[in-house]
Structure 1
C-alpha cells in the first residue's frame, strides 16, 4: 500500500474512533440525566446500571455507525481540502478514483465490523438494554406489549387474545381453537386468562368450552378453572424487541416460526433482519457522498461542508425511520422499506462522485 493510502486510511479510522469516543459519553450523560430519577426510585443496582450503559453503548453505536462515519469522513476530508493537500495529491497525477481507494478500504474494515456487530454483539446488547428498560425504567406502568394476537401454535391449535398485560400476565378475550383437517373439534372462550407461574398453568375466568362431535354440540361452562395448554407465555406476549435480541441464525428460525404462527409482527422482524445487511452497504454509500462533498475547498471552509453533511445525514435518518415504521405497522414491503434509502442515496453518491471527478 502506498504512503498516500496509509495516510488517508489512518486518518479515516482514527477520526471515526474519535467521533465515537466523543459522542458516546455525551449520549450516556444525556440518557443518565433523563433516567437517573427512575433508576433511584426503582432501586436499580449499580452493577446492573453499569451493564445497562455498556449495552447502551453497543446498541446505539450499532444504530448510528453510518452517521458517525459520515460526519468523521466529512470532518477530516474537509481539513485535507482546506490545507490544499487534496489539490497536491491530484496534481501529482493521482486520479480521483485512485484517491478514493483508501476510503473504500477503510469503509470495508468498518462495514465488516458493523456486520459482525449487527449479527452477534448487538443482539446481546439489545437483550440487556431492553430488559433493564422494562425492569426499572417502566416498572410502575402496565406495559401493554401486545394487542390482537392471533397465532398458530401447531398444526391443529390456534390462540387469540385481544390484549395482554405483561405486568400481571393477564390476557383479555382469550380464544383457543382445536381443528383437525377442516373440522373444528372444540373451542374455548374466556373473558380473562392469567398465567400461574407456580405450576405453569393458566387460570381462565368465565370459561366456556364448545365441543363438536358427529354434528352434536356440547357446551361446558365454569366461572373459573385452571388448565394447561400446549403453548408458552411468550406466545401470548411476544415482545416488540424479540427479533433484536437474536443472533442472525436464530433470527431466521424465529421469523420462519412466526410466519407459520401467523404473527402480526412479521414486518417488524423482517426489518430487523434486512437492516443487518443494509447498514454495512450504507457505510460505503455515505463514505462516497462524504468524500465527494468535502474534497473541494470552499469559501466558507469546513463549516459549509459540515452543515451540508449534517443536512444529508438528517434526510437519510428521516427516510430510514419513516420507511421502517411503514413496514412495521402496515403491509408495506419490508425489503423496499429497508433498501429504498440506500437506493436513493446510492444514486446521489454516483451523481456527486461524477461531479467531484470533474
Structure 2
C-alpha cells in the first residue's frame, strides 16, 4: 500500500469515526430530553438507564450507518478537492480508478465491521433497547393482543398438529374460539374446540372452557364434551404473540432457525422477519455503493465549495434511507417479495453509482 493509499484510508476511517462521535451524543441528548420525565416518574435506577444508553448507542449507530458513512466521505473528499489535492493526484498520472482504490479498502473494512455487528452485537443491543422502551416508557409489553392466530405446533412424519385462536390477550393469557386439529397423512383424525383457553404459569398447562373433542373413526365419531378441563399442549404463549421486534433481537443463526420455524407454522408475518434477515446482508453492501457515489459527487471542486457537496450528499443519503424504509414497509404489508424490496435501494443506487463514476472519470 502506497503513501497516498494510507493517507486517504486514514482520513476515510478517521472522519467516519469522528462523525459517529459527533452525532451519537446528539442523539442521546435528544432521547434524554424526550424521556427524562418518564424516567424520573417511574424512578428507573441509574444503572438501568446507563445500560439502556449503551444499547441505544449501538442501535442508533447501526440505524443511521449509511448517513454517517456517506456524509463523512463527502466531507473529507470535498476538503481534498477544495485544497486541490485531488487535482494534484490526478495530474501526477494516477487514474481516477486508482484514486478510488483506498476508498474501496475503507469500504471493505467498514462493511466487515457492519456485517459482524449486524450478526452478533446489534441483536443484543436491539433487545435491550426495545425491552427498556416497552417495559418502562411505553407500558408493559405484555399488554399486547393479537387476533386470527394460526400455528402448526407439531409435525412428525405423517402426523401434523395445528391450532387456531380468534383472539389472544397476553396480559390475561387468555384466548377465545380455540381450535386444535390433528392430522395423519393429511387426514383429520381429531378435532378439539373450546370457547375459551387460558394458560397457567404454575402448572404450564392450559385450561379449556366449553371443551368439545371429536375423534374421527372409520365408521363412527366419538364426541366428548366437558365444561372445564386442564390439558398440556406443545406451544407456549410467546408462540402466539411474538413481539414485533423479535427478529431484531436474534443473531443470524437464531433468526434463520426462527424464520424456518414460523414458516412451517404458517405465520402470516413471515415477511417482517425476512426483511430483517435480508437487511443484515444488504446494509454492508450499501457501504460500497455509497462510497462510490460520495467520491464521484465530491471529488470535483465546485464554485459553491463544500456546502454544495454536502447539500447534494444530504439529499442523496436521505433519499436512500427513504427508499430503504418505504420498500421495507411494502414488503411487510404487501405481496412484494422481501428479497427484492430490501435489495431494491441498493440496485437503484448501484446504477446511480456507475453513472456518476463514469462522469467523474471524464
TM-score range relative to shorter protein: over 0.9
Shift, 1:213, TM fit: 2.4
Counterpart in 1 of 2:208? 204
Counterpart in 1 of 2:2? 2
Rounded to whole Å, the distance in 1 between the matches of 2:167 and 2:311 is 46
Which consecutive residues of structure 2, in runs of 5 or more, have no partner in the other structure? none
Shift, 1:340, TM fit: 0.7
Instruction: Give the structure-2-normalised TM-score.
Output: 0.93
Counterpart in 2 of 1:267? 271
Number of aligned positions between the proteins: 358
Shift, 1:207, TM fit: 3.1
User: What whole-Å deviation, never above 9, does each CA across 1:146-183 have from its counterpart, x for those lacking one?
Assistant: 33221111122101223332233233332221122233
* Correspondence list, 1:167-246, <5 A: 167-246=171-250
Rounded to whole Å, the distance in 1 between the matches of 2:162 and 2:36 is 43
Counterpart in 2 of 1:132? 132
Rounded to whole Å, the distance in 1 between the matches of 2:142 and 2:250 is 25
Change in 2 beyond 3 A, CA 1:137/1:218: farther
User: What whole-Å deviation, never above 9, does each CA across 1:54-111 have from its counterpart, x for those lacking one?
Assistant: 1111122122212210010001111111111111111111111111111110111000
1:292 aligns with 2:296: yes
1:148 aligns with 2:148: yes
Rounded to whole Å, the distance in 2 between the matches of 1:243 and 1:267 is 11
Is 2:135–2:141's contact at 8 Å kept on the other side of the alignment?
A: no
Counterpart in 2 of 1:20? 20
User: What whole-Å deviation, never above 9, does each CA across 1:100-157 have from its counterpart, x for those lacking one?
Assistant: 1111101110001001001111111112122222211222576435332211111221
* Correspondence list, 1:65-144, <5 A: 65-139=65-139, 143-144=143-144
State the superposition RMSD in angstroms: 1.8
Change in 2 beyond 3 A, CA 1:33/1:224: farther
Change in 2 beyond 3 A, CA 1:50/1:180: same
Rounded to whole Å, the distance in 2 between the matches of 1:222 and 1:28 is 57
Rounded to whole Å, the distance in 2 between the matches of 1:215 and 1:14 is 79
The one of 311, 314, 328 aligned to 1:307? 311
SS of corresponding position for 1:269: helix
Shift, 1:343, TM fit: 0.4
Is 1:78–1:302's contact at 8 Å kept on the other side of the alignment?
A: yes
Misfit runs of 4+, over 6 Å: none
Counterpart in 2 of 1:339? 343
Change in 2 beyond 3 A, CA 1:172/1:28: farther
User: What whole-Å deviation, never above 9, does each CA across 1:299-329 have from its counterpart, x for those lacking one?
Assistant: 1111111111111111111111111111112
SS of corresponding position for 1:185: strand
Rounded to whole Å, the distance in 2 between the matches of 1:208 and 1:49 is 50
SS of corresponding position for 1:190: strand
Is 2:12–2:73's contact at 8 Å kept on the other side of the alignment?
A: yes
Rounded to whole Å, the distance in 1 between the matches of 2:252 and 2:142 is 31
Shift, 1:336, TM fit: 0.4
Change in 2 beyond 3 A, CA 1:145/1:67: farther
Which consecutive residues of structure 1, in runs of 5 or more, have no partner in the other structure? none
Instruction: Give the structure-1-normalised TM-score.
Output: 0.94
Is 2:206–2:232's contact at 8 Å kept on the other side of the alignment?
A: yes
Shift, 1:14, TM fit: 0.8
